[in-house]
Amino acid sequence: MLSLQNVTKVFGNGVQALDRVSIDIEPGQITVVIGGSGCGKSTLLRLISGLDTPSAGSVLFDGEAIFTPHPLISLIFQEPRLLPWLTVEHNVGFGLGHIDADERRRRVAKILKTVGLADLSGRLPTELSGGQAQRVAIARALVTNPEVLLLDEPFSALDAFTRADLQDYLLRM
């Protein structure tokens, strides 16, 4: 279970992004956070993912406090955030350094096929369109088989057909 208990986030400049947010999210549950620009949605996702820490309160995953990135939690950002010196294949496999090289290649090939990029595995991020780069970022988050998948508007750069296909894939997961 993912649990936020009275989570508050105040930035160094005094801006309060979140104020005593509490929620429990059960395994398999899909939860949506809706709000206007600048209301704290991305901040909330960064806290859950362990990329930032709350000013007060706690974020727990299966009872364990989250203070740093967790291997079972993946976040897909609004923009790709790819490592420009790595190929598509190596960007996707970046978080799999702990597994056997053959298994890593198999997983990466499978997810690249799923997101429609199998033929681009050797390209660098500068050789991709915006939508292709975003699909690489989506594949990177999915290849680790996370228990918690956080989406920060990751489909905004995709065409309607690709968006629908990936949304369907995520729902099947």
Q: Where are the domains of the chain?
A: 1-70, 71-173
Residues in contact with 12: Cβ distance below 8 Å, sequence separation at least 6, in sequence order:
none
User: Residue 173's pLDDT is what?
Assistant: 66
Give the pLDDT confidence score for residue 108 in this predicted structure: 96
71-173: CATH homologous superfamily?
A: P-loop containing nucleotide triphosphate hydrolases (3.40.50.300)
Q: Which residue's entry shows tokens 């209301």?
A: 39
The Cα–Cα gap between 109 and 96 comes to: 13
At 119 the pLDDT is 96
Chain mean pLDDT for the chain: 91
CATH of domain 1-70: 3.40.50.300
- Which positions of the chain have pLDDT values less than 70? 157, 173
pLDDT of residue 97: 82
